[in-house]
């Protein structure tokens, strides 16, 4: 089977499959509007990937961001981030006019404080134009969209309208009748806030339409899209508000336990994430319907899914609410094989690969391998001096996705420049090179990943461009300053893409 003949049902990888791709969040694309979107720059990016022989584009979670603008704390597991709607496409579709907005100048990085009100104003204008007769031919399609997505969109539209009414506050701070979802109060709110709800739904309709066009364009050019599904959901989300019975909450609807990870080499106190945890018995009684719908929703936008925090499907670290650190937590079994069997039965396959990083115990590996789900390796994690380190390429198998680094890592150049002493020497020794310029390391490590046995080799765009730590996307544990990095058009015309093309051909990863 050739790479082009491989079906979109995706992983596990066929034994002879070799391909490569790049990691770049949509928000990091060039744009005149302060943030990347699914408009012309995304189509240009697909062309760039195709010309460089890349078969995959991986983005971060696509949901509407809440706290800290983190894509891993979305306001919904089903909705898309309305900031990704393309103004150019709205103009082309006749929903905006060029004079509907004044031109703004934005910083090179994503300035959310400037972008959010700007994009919201554009979407309000598009909605107003639509209400007043622009593109009447879309009314039937919009109504059909609302009907098809009602199982999540009705609650999400009301959730966002109430959040707007109460100045963005955490939903547990709303009046009790809304927190507790008193039916009469919800009916009254739907009437009072109907225009705001319609506008929220219309923004989702526009984004889904634009995203569908982008996916079709990518697939026609042999580029497949990888989405990212967070294991937990945000505490302040329509997911928890509309489905409290699916989470372990107390009588006041506050989380009884929150997610995290136990103490390890990196943190003596562990990590306390604060996300509500699932009531898996409740999910089991429904045949995991909400979870399967969540997967299906993401698959309408992408071709394969990275399962974030895969180990949570085997067991997750539950910390009592109110604990000051994650030390007080304990392991609680996840849904395990029953969940993946239900998904496979419903969808006909398991288009997943596992983010199996962190504290990995034998039960996690057994669950992953039982369903032939590809695992993840990150080359930056390989150089601790342990010859059995699974991130060393000599231990790679075919059914893997191998990265130079991920969105949570520093750029490879930035990572190497922070190494000291023996750690730095181990890298040079592994590469069988004399110590030299740090800029040589990124190229050499990309060659190492691309030459490995892993079926899929991946690198962030920052590594292709050999950028330093200033281009880092996220620093886990840092409260602010994340998710801002953005490339520009000059970067996407860099000679580095010719080198990537040559490397991809030389390592037999050409699509």
Query: Which residues are identified as catalytic?
Result: 308, 355, 408
Residue 367 bridge partners (DSSP): none
Q: Are 319 and 309 in contact (CB under 8 A)?
A: no
Q: What are the backbone angles phi and psi of residue 153, rounded to the nearest 5°?
A: -70, -35
Tally of CA atoms within 13 A in the half-sphere of 117 that contains its CB = 4
Closest CA to 317 of 271, 379, 363, 373: 271
Please list, in sequence order, all residues whose beta carbon lies within 8 angstroms of the beta carbon of residue 4, skipping any fewer than 6 positions away.
222, 511
Give the dihedral sign, CA 500/502/503/509. Answer: positive
CA distances from 480 to 170, 269, 433, 473 (A): 19, 21, 38, 12
Q: Are the CB atoms for 422 and 385 separated by under 8 Å?
A: yes
Q: Which residues touch 410 (CB under 8 Å, ≥6 apart)? A: 380, 418, 469, 472
What Cα–Cα distance (Å) separates residue 208 from each residue in 24, 88, 248, 361?
Answer: 20, 15, 32, 39
Please report where in the chains the tokens 């962030």 appear, as a residue.
460
Name the helix (H) or strand (E) containing 201: helix 194-220
CB 130 within 8 A of CB 100: no
Strand order in the sheet with 271-276: 271-276, 257-261, 315-320, 330-333
Within 158-303, strands assigned E span: 224-229, 257-261, 271-276
DSSP string over 435-453: S--THHHHHHHHHHHHHSS
Strand partners, 354: 307
Element spanning 147, H or E? helix 139-148
């Amino acid at each position: 089977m050739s790479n082009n003949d491989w079906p979109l049902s995706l992983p596990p990888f066929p034994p002879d499959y070799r391909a490569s791709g790049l990691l770049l969040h949509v928000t990091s694309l060039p744009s005149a509007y302060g943030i990347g979107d699914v408009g012309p720059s995304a189509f240009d990016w697909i062309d760039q990937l195709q010309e460089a022989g890349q078969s995959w584009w991986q983005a971060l979670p696509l949901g509407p961001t809440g706290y800290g603008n983190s894509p891993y704390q979305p306001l919904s597991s089903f909705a898309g981030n309305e900031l990704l709607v393309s103004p150019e496409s709205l103009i082309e579709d006749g929903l905006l006019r060029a004079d509907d907005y004044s031109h703004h100048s934005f910083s090179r990085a994503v300035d959310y404080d400037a972008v959010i009100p700007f994009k919201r104003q554009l979407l309000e204008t598009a909605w107003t134009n639509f209400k007043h007769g622009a593109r009447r031919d879309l009314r039937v399609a919009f109504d059909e969209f609302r009907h098809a997505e009602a199982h999540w969109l009705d609650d999400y539209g009301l959730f966002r309208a109430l959040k707007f009414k109460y100045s963005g506050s955490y939903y547990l701070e709303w009046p009790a009748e809304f927190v507790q979802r008193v039916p009469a109060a919800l009916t009254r709110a739907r009437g009072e806030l109907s225009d705001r709800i319609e506008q929220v739904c219309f923004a989702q309709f526009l984004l889904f339409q634009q995203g569908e066009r982008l996916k079709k364009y990518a697939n026609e050019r042999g580029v497949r899209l990888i989405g990212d599904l967070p294991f937990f959901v945000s505490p302040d989300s329509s997911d928890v508000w509309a489905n409290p019975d699916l989470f372990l909450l107390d009588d006041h609807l506050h989380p009884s336990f929150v997610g995290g990870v136990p103490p390890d080499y990196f943190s003596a106190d562990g990590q306390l994430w604060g996300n509500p945890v699932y009531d898996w018995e409740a999910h089991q009684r429904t045949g995991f319907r909400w979870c399967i719908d969540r997967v299906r929703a993401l698959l309408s936008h992408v071709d394969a899914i990275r399962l974030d925090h895969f180990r949570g499907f085997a067991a997750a670290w539950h910390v009592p609410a109110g604990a000051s650190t994650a030390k007080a937590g304990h392991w609680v079994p996840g849904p395990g094989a029953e969940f993946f069997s239900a998904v496979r039965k419903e969808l006909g396959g398991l288009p997943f690969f596992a983010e199996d990083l962190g504290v990995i115990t034998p039960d996690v590996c057994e669950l992953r391998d039982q369903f032939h789900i590809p695992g993840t390796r990150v080359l930056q994690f390989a150089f601790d001096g342990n010859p059995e380190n699974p991130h060393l390429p000599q231990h790679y198998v075919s059914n893997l996705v191998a990265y130079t680094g991920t969105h949570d890592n520093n750029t490879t150049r930035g990572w190497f420049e922070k190494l000291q002493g023996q750690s730095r020497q181990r890298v040079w020794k592994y590469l069988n090179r004399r110590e030299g310029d740090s800029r040589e390391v990124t190229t050499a490590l990309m060659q190492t990943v691309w030459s490995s046995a892993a079926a899929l080799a991946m690198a962030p765009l920052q590594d292709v461009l050999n950028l330093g730590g200033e281009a880092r996307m996220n620093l886990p544990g840092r409260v602010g300053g994340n998710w801002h990095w953005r490339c520009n058009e000059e970067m996407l015309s860099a000679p580095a893409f010719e080198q990537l093309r040559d490397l991809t051909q030389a390592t037999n990863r050409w699509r």
